[in-house]
């Protein structure tokens, strides 16, 4: 029998790998330490920083440190240099922001021809950040109509059992269901625990990429039926070479395909495919349709929120550093979420594209949430910046819980992942 690890252990491993990839050790570590331990200030409050550089576990004395600061994801508005004293410490101030948001403080040390850098994002009343995007008057009607149309399409599910990936605790299947329109499909991997009765289910949603998926999904070892899907309408069990070719060819830049019109935008099919995947889970005799959760990060976090907002079958969600939050941020002069649209004011057909974005902004789906959610991210995320994720979080009126790892980038700490899983189990009375 294959070696089996629990989903919690798996999640911890993934998080640890992310930390290792995102914060690889440098010969010199340069630090900008804010005087507030929670990195959080009120609007207008000056932040006092202590800067230092560590080489082989010793602070570097009489060393020049360059610093700069500016709004989250935008250019620096000021810069300067300070020199550490005999104890290896130096100090500088960052003026308080004039409105709720984040300020990125960057420090750099040059040593023997190499630069060593770091970033600290400080917050100014983050729970008061409001989005720049607005909800179209017909937003709910538009998506209600789209979901209604796809719900009338026969799913025609096709399952292929994977004996190689199954074991004495779970069964693994490759799934295809019809979605969006006739002849269009959602593909995924289904992992089913070999336990009696109806079980809670998770729809596991992917981050941005074009790639394969394989079973078993380790969350199933915690008692969940898990369906992990792709969002590109292509099989998920092909050779990696095919995905690389698509990623660099036909699907290159998919985040902007068809963006000139709300009906042709690439993500319409993807979002409706996620809703259809929930419908499939509800159709299974081994799934408890009152205990279904969405789960994902980045693009998957965005889809987790969107699916929970559109499907009345979803009863809980876990979304970490969701993408597509407050897409018009750059247009209004502040940071926006991945994929960082509308930076260029000369972009062709800009107003039409902005109008389309309002129907796909995570913020507007967040406004519709009626089920409890667990959320997690960090202040230092360069992809899904905190200005954008707080914009979405702050409009949610449903029960919500946020756990922030302030120094995390586009990754989570193990405790954030494990706490989310325990929260989800509690929601579903699994403890």
For 87, the token pair is 């104890």
Q: Where are the alpha helices (DSSP H) in 177-329?
A: 240-248, 266-283, 299-310
Instruction: State residue 21's pLDDT score.
Output: 41
Cβ-in-10-Å burial (0-12, 13-18, 19+) of 358 comes to: middle
Instruction: State residue 24's pLDDT score.
Output: 58
Separation between Cα atoms, residue 359 and residue 263, nearest integer Å: 10
Residue-level length of the chain:
431
Q: What angle do CA 424, 430, 431 make, to 5 degrees?
A: 100
Q: How many CB atoms lie within 10 A of CB 141?
A: 10
Pairing mode, strands 90-94 and 47-55: antiparallel
Distances in Å between the Cα of 94 and the Cα atoms of 89, 122, 393 are 17, 10, 26
Which parts of the chain have pLDDT scores under 70?
A: 1-24
Long-range pairs for 36-41 at CB < 8 Å and ≥24 separation? 36/122, 38/406, 39/120, 39/121, 39/122, 39/123, 39/379, 39/406, 40/122, 40/123, 40/124, 40/126, 41/96, 41/97, 41/122, 41/123, 41/124, 41/125
Instruction: State residue 12's pLDDT score.
Output: 43
Instruction: State residue 26's pLDDT score.
Output: 86
Could you tell me the pTM of the whole model?
Answer: 0.94
Separation between Cα atoms, residue 312 and residue 293, nearest integer Å: 11
The full set of domains in the chain, from first to last, is 25-128 (2.60.40.10), 133-427 (3.40.50.1820)
Pairing mode, strands 101-111 and 28-34: unpaired
Helix (H, G, I), strand (E, B) or coil at 39: coil
Separation between Cα atoms, residue 69 and residue 31, nearest integer Å: 14
Instruction: State residue 84's pLDDT score.
Output: 98
């Amino acid at each position: 029998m294959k070696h089996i690890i629990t989903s919690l252990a798996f999640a911890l491993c993934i998080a640890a790998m992310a930390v290792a990839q995102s914060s690889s050790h440098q010969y010199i570590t340069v630090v900008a330490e804010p005087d507030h331990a929670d990195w959080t200030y009120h609007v207008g409050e000056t932040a006092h920083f202590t800067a230092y550089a560590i080489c082989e576990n010793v602070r570097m004395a009489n060393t020049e440190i360059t610093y700069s600061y500016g709004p989250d994801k935008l250019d620096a508005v000021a810069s300067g240099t300070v020199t550490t004293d005999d104890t290896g410490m130096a100090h500088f101030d960052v003026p308080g922001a004039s409105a709720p948001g984040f300020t990125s403080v960057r420090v750099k040390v040059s040593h023997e021809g190499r630069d060593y850098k770091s970033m600290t994002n400080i917050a100014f009343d983050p729970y008061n950040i409001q989005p720049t995007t607005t909800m179209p008057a017909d937003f709910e009607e538009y998506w209600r109509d789209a979901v209604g149309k796809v719900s009338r399409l026969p799913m025609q599910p096709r399952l292929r059992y994977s004996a190689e990936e199954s074991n004495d605790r779970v069964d693994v299947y490759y799934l295809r269901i019809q979605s969006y329109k006739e002849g269009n499909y959602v593909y995924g991997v289904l992992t089913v625990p070999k336990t009696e009765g109806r079980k809670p289910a998770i729809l596991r949603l992917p981050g941005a990429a074009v790639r394969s998926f394989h079973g078993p999904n380790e969350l199933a070892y915690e008692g969940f039926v898990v369906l992990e899907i792709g969002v590109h309408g292509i099989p998920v069990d092909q050779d990696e070479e095919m995905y690389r070719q698509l990623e660099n060819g036909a699907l290159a830049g998919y985040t902007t395909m068809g963006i000139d019109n709300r009906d042709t935008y690439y993500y319409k099919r993807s979002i409706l495919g996620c809703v259809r995947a929930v419908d499939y889970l509800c159709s299974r005799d081994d799934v408890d349709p009152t205990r279904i959760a969405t789960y994902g990060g980045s693009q998957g976090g965005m889809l987790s929120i969107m699916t929970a907002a559109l499907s009345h079958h979803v009863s809980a969600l876990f979304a970490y550093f969701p993408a597509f939050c407050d897409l018009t941020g750059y247009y209004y002069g502040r940071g926006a979420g991945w994929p960082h649209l509308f930076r260029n004011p000369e972009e062709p057909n800009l107003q039409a594209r902005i109008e389309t974005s309002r129907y796909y902004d995570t913020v507007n789906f967040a406004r519709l949430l009626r089920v409890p959610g667990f959320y997690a991210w960090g202040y230092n995320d360069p992809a899904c910046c905190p200005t954008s994720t707080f914009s979405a979080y702050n409009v949610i009126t449903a029960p919500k819980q946020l756990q922030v790892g302030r120094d995390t980038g586009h990754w989570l700490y193990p405790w954030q992942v494990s706490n989310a899983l325990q929260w989800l189990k509690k929601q579903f009375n699994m403890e």
